[in-house]
Chains A and B, each alone.
Chain A
Amino acid sequence: MSETVDYDELLTRYEPALGLEVHVELNTSSKMFCGCVNEFGGEPNTHVCPVCLGLPGSLPVINGKAVESAIRIGLALNCSIAPWCRMARKNYFYPDMTKNFQTSQYDEPIAFDGWVDLEVDGQTYRVEVERAHMEEDAGKATHVGGSGRIQGADYSLIDYNRAGVPLIEIVTKPIRGTGAKAPEVARAYVAHLRELMKALGVSDVKMEQGSLRCDANISLAPLGSETLGTRTETKNVNSLRSVERAIRFEMTRQAAVLDGGGKIKQETRHFHESDGTTSAGRSKEEAEDYRYFAEPDLMPIAPGRAWVEELRATLPEPPAERRARLQSEWGFTDIDFAAVVNSGALALVEETVAAGASPAAARKWWVTELARRANEEGVDLDELAITPSQVAAVQALIDAGTVNDKLARQVIDGVLAGEGEPAEVVESRGLVVVSDEGALGAAVDEVIAANPDVADKIRAGKVQAAGALIGQVMKAMRGQADAGKVRELILAKLT
């Protein structure tokens, strides 16, 4: 465990700078350079062919749809699109690629010089995008023996199903001036990209499956310093919450090193979900030399202006306009709307409303009840095992009087526990609200008989005392009584 210093205190002396690299797996039907299916999982080494296995004599051909997605992503990030660019070989020796190189782009990215605007706690931050380039994903290595990590493993097993899946890597310029908000800005940036990719329809953006991955570069410099400090790169931070935690931790760790008169080592670090810390990986002190060169087996890519403009016309509504439209459609205050956006629930609320719930009800479930559960489980909202249409169905059960708020929470428990659709959970758990006068009447009579003093007060005109009796009836009925009906019955019997 590394030494850390107090977060608020370190900000009185240091200024953080961020650099974020986000990898987005495209959801094309086939891989980047061959016709193998682009699908998560599958039996090991069954989505492979001579091209993605790099067998001698095989030749790659670029997937046109992947280029189209890359251009649309570039345009959505307000980037310029290169009129001519090439793929390049990034040479390295690691068995996650059979070819001993990854086909990527080097000094000629397809998209460059873009920006996105983010809103965090009422303030707008502009993040400049340096580049978005095309490349292929690598295979998946499983390390056997030792602790299951690379270090100490006896040997490794490789599944190349993922090798050759089209990837877009989006790299920011250094993000400065965020101060204490650095972790939140980083999270907002990744959330923004995820929303954007979803709207573009170019990726599944499932962070838990690795179709959107973030590497976070963080450095600290003395407050007011012109130059950037030495950075570390925390790899594969795989949820929005982890992005925030990893950066926050790394800032406190680096501050402790600097305070102790030490130097930050330029290195790769690994984030640990379990305790929110990072640990040292590979040292990057020696500049990496991948001996990049232009890929001789692939022809250059030259997106003509007409094609680019055609693709521009397919872009979805820009995020800022979309937010403004949704806020006005839903009639939310700025505070309520910001809560939706910052909890990463915008698309979820939108889909819940589309499934029939009122905007207020959709917001209530996602931003309070479900956000609390996501937090308890340490996952992002959209990783919860409940869909927007199921949330809308729960609300419909409340609106129909089938369940009350309290029972609805139990319905949600059931859905999250995998017990089926909301209606099935109501059925199997027997959660229907009892508004039948016979059943309720008996419970009300018992409670009145057990509390003669309270009953007398109500008879004497103190109607508000009925609350105590209602509570007891609810308790007796294990929360399944229709509270309005119980009140009516009590008053009818006593006044």
Chain B
Amino acid sequence: MGLTADDVARLAALARIQLTEQDCAELAPELDVILESVASVSEVARPDVPLATHAIPMSNVFRADVVTASLTQTQALSGAPEEEDGRFRVPQILSED
């Protein structure tokens, strides 16, 4: 596979996980082992094997369009680190990215 330390650094940045250069260097070969194991599954799966993302082959699991009770504002905000005017207060958003 050949996952590099740079790949790990990029993934970490996308996932907002703070890693040192040393972390990245160590994780690259470790993650590579996992990727190789997953890749070996692809060798067995031929094109005629249907794609599966769920363990149980189910589809069209829907709920009826019925309104159920919501939380109260107090309940909704009970776990919020900070609140103001019935809203969740969050730190300055530096960019939309």
Residues of chain A having any CB pair with chain B under 8 Å: 28-30, 34-37, 43-50, 53, 55, 61-67, 84, 86, 91-95, 141-144, 150, 153-160, 268, 281-282, 288-289, 291, 294, 296, 298-303
Closest CB in chain A relative to B63 CB, distance in Å: 4
> Is B37 an interface position by the 8 A CB rule?
no
Closest CB in chain B relative to A70 CB, distance in Å: 12
Q: Which residues of B contact A281 (CB under 8 A)?
A: 96
Q: Is the CB of A28 within 8 A of B95?
A: no
Q: Is the CB of A45 within 8 A of B63?
A: no
Q: For chain B residues 82-97, which have a beta carbon within 8 Å of chain A?
A: 84-93, 95-97
Q: Is the CB of B61 within 8 A of A299?
A: yes
Query: Please, which residue of chain A has its CB at the minimum distance from the CB of B77?
Result: A45
CA distance A187 to B92 in the complex (A): 36
Contact of B53 among A43, A53, A155, A300 (CB under 8 A): A300
Contact of B65 among A28, A93, A153, A157 (CB under 8 A): A28
Q: Is the CB of B90 within 8 A of A46?
A: no
Q: Is the CB of A46 within 8 A of B59?
A: no
Q: Which residues of A contact B67 (CB under 8 A)?
A: 29-30, 35-37
Question: Beyond the given A36-B68, A55-B79, could you list 8 further A-B residue pairs with CB under 8 A, ordered by the A residue number?
Answer: A29-B67, A45-B86, A47-B70, A49-B70, A94-B93, A156-B90, A160-B76, A300-B53
Closest CB in chain B relative to A391 CB, distance in Å: 34
Q: Is the CB of B89 within 8 A of A155?
A: yes
Q: Is the CB of A155 within 8 A of B62?
A: no
Q: What number of A-B contacts does a CB cutoff of 8 Å give?
A: 140
Q: Given A29-B66, A64-B64 in contact, is the A46-B97 Cβ separation under 8 Å?
A: no
Interface size class of B (residues with CB under 8 A): 35 or more
Q: Which residues of A contact B96 (CB under 8 A)?
A: 94, 150, 268, 281-282
Q: Is the CB of B63 within 8 A of A300?
A: no
Q: Which residues of B contact A45 (CB under 8 A)?
A: 71, 73, 76-77, 86-88
Query: Please, which residue of chain B has its CB at the minimum distance from the CB of A34?
Result: B68
CA distance A399 to B53 in the complex (A): 67
